[in-house]
């Protein structure tokens, strides 16, 4: 089975994904890290030098490669991945894939991102208020795609262990 974690940036996809992968003895892949290794560039640099359209195209290609090549794996998507190329709809049609939306509150995400300077979509924002406003607007736009996930879990105020347990109970 391939477990695909989706949600907004800083929602805990990689942190929880690694924990669940360890429990299940599955491999773990972070899609952004995977892209950086193959492209030999940071995601931020790809956005800056080649643009978001280029990034979204290669992101979708690598997503398909991973899904076609992996068996027992936890895959953490980038925050925007589900919003392009009908990715969630496609993933939901695959028998051995389960999509899982980790939903964190705007305040939790804001607090996690307030000092983050490497994420291309927010690197230009200067204040906590600007970041919170951006996240609220972006989450509103993206929630349609995130809510297509087969499993939806509100992670606000939950520990990594609690989130992992809830996911495993949903799956098994």
Those residues whose C-beta lies under 8 Å from the C-beta of residue 62, and which sit 6 or more positions away, are 31, 34, 35, 38
Task: Tokens 């931020």: give the residue.
Answer: 44
The whole-number pLDDT of residue 97 equals 98
Q: Is the Cβ–Cβ distance between 94 and 4 less than 8 Å? A: no
Which residue positions form the known binding site? 10-15, 32, 56, 79, 119, 142
The residue length of the chain stands at: 172
Binding site residue list for Mg(2+): 14
- Which residues are annotated binding-site positions for ATP? 10-15, 119
Q: What is the pLDDT of residues 79-120, one digit of tens each?
A: 999 999 999 999 999 999 999 999 999 999 999 998 876 777
User: Residue 164 above 90 pLDDT?
Assistant: yes
Given a contact cutoff of 8 angstroms between Cβ atoms, the answer to whether 87 and 5 are in contact is no
Q: What pLDDT sits at residue 119?
A: 78
The conformation of residue 11, written as its DSSP 8-state character, comes to S
Give me the pLDDT at residue 123, please: 79
Tokens of 117: 């300077």
Q: List the chain domain ranges.
A: 2-162
Q: What are phi and psi of 92, to 5 degrees?
A: -70, -15
User: pTM of this prediction?
Assistant: 0.93
CB 11 within 8 A of CB 109: yes
What are 103's strand-pairing partners?
154
Binding residues for substrate: 32, 56, 79, 142
Q: Is the pLDDT of residue 147 over 90?
A: yes
CATH of 2-162, one of 3.40.50.970, 3.40.50.150, 3.40.50.300, 2.40.160.40: 3.40.50.300
- Laid out side by side, the sheet with 2-6 consists of 27-30, 73-76, 2-6, 97-103, 151-154
Q: How does pLDDT run across 6-62, given as a tens digit for each residue?
A: 999 999 999 999 999 999 999 999 999 999 999 999 998 998 899 989 999 999 999
Q: Is the dihedral of CA 101, 147, 125, 45 positive or negative?
A: positive
First and final CA of the chain: distance in angstroms? Answer: 12
Q: Which of the four pLDDT bands, split at 50, 70 and 90, describes residue 125?
A: confident
Helix (DSSP H) and strand (DSSP E) numbers for the chain:
7, 5
Per-residue confidence (pLDDT) for residue 168, from 0 to 100: 96
Please state, in angstroms and rounded to a whole number, the distance separating the CA atoms of residues 158 and 23: 18
Q: Specify the pLDDT at position 121.
A: 77
């Amino acid at each position: 089975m391939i477990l695909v974690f989706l949600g907004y940036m800083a929602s805990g996809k990689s942190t929880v994904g690694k924990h669940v992968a360890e429990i299940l003895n599955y491999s773990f892949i972070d899609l952004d890290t995977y892209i950086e290794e193959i492209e030999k560039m940071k995601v931020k640099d790809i956005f800056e030098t080649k643009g978001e359209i280029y990034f979204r195209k290669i992101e979708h290609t690598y997503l398909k490669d991973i899904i076609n090549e992996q068996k027992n794996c936890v895959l953490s998507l980038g925050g925007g991945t589900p919003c392009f190329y009908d990715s969630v709809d496609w993933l939901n049609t695959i028998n051995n894939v389960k999509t899982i939306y980790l939903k964190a509150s705007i305040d939790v995400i804001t607090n996690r991102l307030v000092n983050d300077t490497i994420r291309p979509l927010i690197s230009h924002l200067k204040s906590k208020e600007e970041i919170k406003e951006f996240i609220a607007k972006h989450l509103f736009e993206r929630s349609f795609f995130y809510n297509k996930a087969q499993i939806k879990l509100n992670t606000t105020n939950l520990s990594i262990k609690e989130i992992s347990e809830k996911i495993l109970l949903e799956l098994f």
